[in-house]
Structure 1
Amino acid sequence: MGKFHLTLLFLHTLFAINACLFPASHARHHRHTYKRHKHGHYISPPDSGISLPPSSQPNNPSADPPAYAPRGVFDVRSFGAVGDGVSDDTEAFKAAWDAACSSTDNSDSTALHAPSGHTFMIQSTIFSGPCQTDIIFQIDGSVVPPDGPEQWPKNTSKHQWLVFYKVGGMSLQGGGRIDGRGGKWWELPCKPHRGPNGTTLPGPCDSPIAIRFFESSNLTVKGLQIQNSPQFHFRFDVCHNVHIESIHITSPALSPNTDGIHIENTNNVQIYNSFISNGDDCVSIGSGCFDVDIRNITCGHGHGISIGSLGNHNSRACVHNVTVRDSLMRETSNGVRIKTWQGGSGAVSGVTFDNIRMDSVRNPIIIDQYYCSGKGCNNQTSAVLVTDIVYSSLKGTYDVRSPPMHFGCSDAVPCSNITLSDIELLPAVGEMVLDPFCWNAYGSLESLTIPPVFCLQEGIPPQPILESSIDHC
């Protein structure tokens, strides 16, 4: 054989030996495809309808979700959330909620996570339960709605923004911010300051509550900043076991109807260690609430802490066992207030206001059973009974434009068993008002008060009046 043929034969033999010795060498270069377990960093299945936007693809590392998330944590970016403050992240949040809510992991809870460094825009949405485990809704970034009425989607409710419905065992928490973008809503013509002399003008008026819990239980809200809600910042309806702690609520002093926390038909409520500065009631307690404990709250401007208003449209209202203590009212229009409409029925009972500091408050202590938010309110004989109310260690300064204590009780259904102890209220400027106001109010003084109170009637009201006028709660 020639040298050329011998060389070809040698190379052919060499390749054959190499193939026998290394049969798997080419298998090391195939493409790997996989899905992570749903309890970690979740990748949607092909038929889920969720796809990552271009800004979240690997060619943009700054927006890419983390390569690893703890078991049971559902990062909204993994479901398509962009977090640029403009893109609509609603469906991504709903998908992350559904995944967390339906998780069958054996751990105590699962978490939906909105990470820091991002602003997520969400439309009006309902997050529904019940869920398989407790849910942690962790907001470390910012969450915003569409910017004002004109940007609100057509055919979408303008009464509420973020709603949690029939959820048991949920914690809404984090170091982030929920911004309701209320400025354009406050300028609707129907708002109280839009017309001359504080009147309203005709036009649309619906404005969304920022965060609403409805028919839910075992709830915790902790650590968040909530600001500029179009209407109420928080509302709890028909809820049980609510714990609110270390939250920060702010909106301008003239922002209308921006109650900080409102509860209705809700019981076993704890509101602790929080700051609320807004344009309406700091905390408002509606009908059907009982076992409410409020401690270490600072209320700035706004209308202070209110029970009511109750009994509107001749309704029956019941509130009992409420305690507010160790708190500060700073430059609010009211300190601690109970307000009811004429014509209602039911009772407010077992209320204690203890160790509360007043700082330049217009009406530090007020019971108003002639509450009326508009014109044409007629005198009526029935009323919500106000009884067993204790004011203890309320001290500080008041605005002399109003008496520091005002007990305006119903002609037909007097206030009863009002107790005053260790009250020291001095004018912030000017001379002391020496005539606290009382009308049909019965109670007692356990110590001398500043200013002196001589207008409370001693004893108890005539029993026939009470028995004939009260629907017992």
Structure 2
Amino acid sequence: MEMFRGFLFISIAMILFSLNLSNVEGRIHYHKKQKKGSPVEPPTYAPSPDDPVSQSPSYPPPVSQSPSYPPPVSQSPNDPPAVPSNPSDPGNTTSEDCVFDVMAFGAVGDGCTDDSAAFAAAWKEACAVESGVVWAPSNLTFLITSTIFSGPCKPGLVFQVDGVLMPPNGPDNWPKTDSKKQWLVFYRLDDMTLTGSGTIEGNGDQWWELPCKPHRGPNGSTKPGPCDSPAMIRFFMSSNLVVSGLRIQNSPMFHMKFDGCEGVLIEKLSISSPKLSPNTDGIHIENTKSVGIYDSVIANGDDCISIGPGCSNVNIEGVTCGPSHGISIGSLGVHNSQACVSNVTVRNAIIKNSDNGVRIKTWQGGAGSVTGISFENVQMDNVRNCVIIDQYYCSTKACQNETSGVYVTDVSYKNIKGTYDVRNPPIHFACSDTVPCTNITMSEVELLPEEGELVDDPFCWNAYGIQETVTIPPIDCLQDGGPEAIGESGTYGCY
């Protein structure tokens, strides 16, 4: 009996010990390492302008991060390469030693003192280390003159604006030695991010009133004289770029310009300037490849997004545009130049209270081609010229007819719906006499007048294509098949 009791006691003890282990194991939690760029608590550090130059605060500022997964990329009909997502490596953690607070380099942040030297010094230090962060803290306003932030730099460089950056106020206060064509320039960089929760303010109102600007002279004319106005943010000859999260507003001219770049991700931006501010394109790209523009709101006095010559594999999705001049490819072929644009997709966009909707515009006398263009799921709200191809584009009234033109082909419009401003027909295809537009596809296009009941007939000239579904208004002027011949000048140099 004693032996049996001993055995029973040992058995119960073993069972209880096993259950206890099971309970302990069930309480284990696994914590993922913090990703590079993940938000962390900002410092309470608030240095005064008199603080000596020192390292960054003991805690790094929050660094905005785009999704760790690539956003969906629409493929154009010719299946271009996917637009790159954020090129930064999410596997590394941000080190506090790599955060360079501009206040520690002598910035004042009062909106009056020139802080350019402090930003240049912080940039130099951050450029020299991997995953360096130039940080402009919140609740401060930094005045910066025209500055070039150049590379090459170590990979993973972040320029984080949580406060306000602004240029000198107007042409009269612009330093005489500074370029009046550009303000903040990022040059020869690879794997760089411009981000933050702050504002980049352009102080553009005095530039817009220059008499040389469109319709600023007597009776709606313009006057001669100096007209240079700075583009607000320019990326030049750079690759693997991310711009996200910022508010960018009131630029003297283009808000953002990308020239000679490859691999660009733009997302979650707010870009704004008044409806009548001249030449204030929201995002302009030229000679730039593999671009994704996502989930942004743009309201301005010119094109929301303008795509110039030399661009390919451009994906635009989730953009709200207006008031504005719409989303434009062009103008192309100015001064008899060659222009090549291919594989552009605009999807899931809203365009409202704008002079144009989705537009392709070329000058007469140009060469090259526009091909592989897709406009899909675009909502129009009170838009003039909702769907327009204009191969007779001219910024003055003195343009003469030319025999050559940029060849426009393989353009698809699918699920384009909404209302149009009755001052212009909702569909306008004005194609070159010698280089007609070909292979235009219309599907589920329904455009009704914003006011009144009369539906305007579309306008077509030398345009060829098909209607896959009934179009409202009917586009009977679109010619079936294709032309017998296409002028040679329309295809030179584009592959």
TM-score range with shorter-chain normalisation?
Answer: 0.7 to 0.9
Instruction: Identify which of 97, 110, 119 aligns with 1:71.
Output: 97
Structure 2: runs of 5+ lacking an equivalent: 1-46, 61-95
Structure 2 partner of 1:158: 180
Give deviations 1:360-410, integer Å, cap 9, x for gaps. 001100000000001310100000000000000000000111000000000
TM-aligned CA deviation for residue 132 of structure 1: 1.8
TM-aligned CA deviation for residue 430 of structure 1: 1.3
Structure 2 partner of 1:375: 397
2: CA distance, partners of 1:405 / 1:415: 14
Asked if structure 2 preserves the Cα contact closer than 8 Å seen for 1:124 and 1:160, the reply is yes
Q: Secondary structure at the match of 2:97?
A: coil
TM-score (norm 2): 0.81
Q: Secondary structure at the match of 1:56?
A: coil
Decide whether aligned partners of structure 1 residues 386 and 123 sit closer, same or farther in structure 2, where only a CA change above 3 A counts: same
Instruction: Identify which of 255, 259, 271 aligns with 1:237.
Output: 259
TM-aligned CA deviation for residue 333 of structure 1: 0.3
Q: Secondary structure at the match of 2:134?
A: strand
Give deviations 1:180-207, integer Å, cap 9, x for gaps. 0000100111011211332101222110
2: CA distance, partners of 1:365 / 1:90: 44
Q: Secondary structure at the match of 1:254?
A: coil
- 1:140 equivalent to 2:140? Answer no
Q: How does 1:438-453 map to 2 (within 5 A)?
A: 438-453=460-475
Structure 1 partner of 2:478: 456
Pairs aligned (count): 411
Which of the two has higher C-alpha Rg?
A: 1
- 1:173 equivalent to 2:190? Answer no
TM-aligned CA deviation for residue 462 of structure 1: 1.2
Structure 1 partner of 2:19: none
Structure 2 partner of 1:56: 49
TM-aligned CA deviation for residue 55 of structure 1: 4.9
- 1:201 equivalent to 2:223? Answer yes
TM-aligned CA deviation for residue 359 of structure 1: 0.1
- 1:88 equivalent to 2:114? Answer yes
TM-aligned CA deviation for residue 466 of structure 1: 3.8
Q: Secondary structure at the match of 2:318?
A: strand
Asked if structure 1 preserves the Cα contact closer than 8 Å seen for 2:56 and 2:99, the reply is no
Asked if structure 2 preserves the Cα contact closer than 8 Å seen for 1:56 and 1:65, the reply is no
Asked if structure 2 preserves the Cα contact closer than 8 Å seen for 1:426 and 1:450, the reply is yes
Asked if structure 1 preserves the Cα contact closer than 8 Å seen for 2:300 and 2:322, the reply is yes
Identity between Structure 1 and Structure 2 (%): 63
2: CA distance, partners of 1:361 / 1:172: 33
For 2:345, give the aligned amino acid. T
Structure 2 partner of 1:6: none
TM-aligned CA deviation for residue 67 of structure 1: 5.5
Asked if structure 2 preserves the Cα contact closer than 8 Å seen for 1:362 and 1:398, the reply is yes
- Structure having the higher strand fraction is 1
Q: Which has the higher contact order (CA 8 A, sep 6+)?
A: 2
Asked if structure 2 preserves the Cα contact closer than 8 Å seen for 1:411 and 1:440, the reply is yes
For 2:303, give the aligned amino acid. D
Asked if structure 1 preserves the Cα contact closer than 8 Å seen for 2:422 and 2:456, the reply is no
TM-aligned CA deviation for residue 432 of structure 1: 2.9
2: CA distance, partners of 1:249 / 1:292: 19
Structure 2 partner of 1:341: 363
For 1:250, give the aligned amino acid. S
For 1:419, give the aligned amino acid. T
2: CA distance, partners of 1:404 / 1:139: 41
- 1:395 equivalent to 2:417? Answer yes
TM-aligned CA deviation for residue 435 of structure 1: 1.3
Q: How does 1:247-286 map to 2 (within 5 A)?
A: 247-286=269-308
Structure 1 partner of 2:64: none
Q: Secondary structure at the match of 2:319?
A: strand
Structure 2 partner of 1:314: 336
Structure 2 partner of 1:359: 381
TM-aligned CA deviation for residue 469 of structure 1: 4.6
Structure 2 partner of 1:98: 124
TM-aligned CA deviation for residue 66 of structure 1: 4.0
2: CA distance, partners of 1:268 / 1:73: 30
TM-aligned CA deviation for residue 470 of structure 1: 2.8
Asked if structure 1 preserves the Cα contact closer than 8 Å seen for 2:367 and 2:489, the reply is no
For 2:291, give the aligned amino acid. V
Structure 2 partner of 1:19: none
TM-aligned CA deviation for residue 102 of structure 1: 1.1
2: CA distance, partners of 1:75 / 1:197: 51
Structure 1 partner of 2:140: 118
Give deviations 1:276-303, integer Å, cap 9, x for gaps. 0000000000000000000010001110
1: CA distance, partners of 2:492 / 2:305: 26
2: CA distance, partners of 1:432 / 1:466: 38
Asked if structure 2 preserves the Cα contact closer than 8 Å seen for 1:188 and 1:203, the reply is no
Structure 1 partner of 2:491: 470
1: CA distance, partners of 2:56 / 2:345: 45
Structure 2 partner of 1:432: 454
Q: Secondary structure at the match of 1:424?
A: strand
Instruction: Identify which of 317, 322, 330 aligns with 1:300.
Output: 322
1: CA distance, partners of 2:51 / 2:288: 47
TM-score (norm 1): 0.85
TM-aligned CA deviation for residue 275 of structure 1: 0.2
For 1:155, give the aligned amino acid. T
Q: Secondary structure at the match of 2:354?
A: coil
Q: Secondary structure at the match of 2:296?
A: strand
Structure 1 partner of 2:433: 411
- Aligned-residue CA RMSD (Å): 1.5
2: CA distance, partners of 1:166 / 1:101: 12
Q: Secondary structure at the match of 1:396?
A: strand
Q: Secondary structure at the match of 1:313?
A: helix
Structure 1 partner of 2:443: 421
Asked if structure 2 preserves the Cα contact closer than 8 Å seen for 1:329 and 1:358, the reply is yes
For 1:262, give the aligned amino acid. H
1: CA distance, partners of 2:321 / 2:307: 15
Asked if structure 1 preserves the Cα contact closer than 8 Å seen for 2:368 and 2:490, the reply is no
Structure 1: runs of 5+ lacking an equivalent: 1-53
Structure 2 partner of 1:22: none
TM-aligned CA deviation for residue 411 of structure 1: 0.2
1: CA distance, partners of 2:185 / 2:428: 38
1: CA distance, partners of 2:393 / 2:324: 17
1: CA distance, partners of 2:186 / 2:421: 40
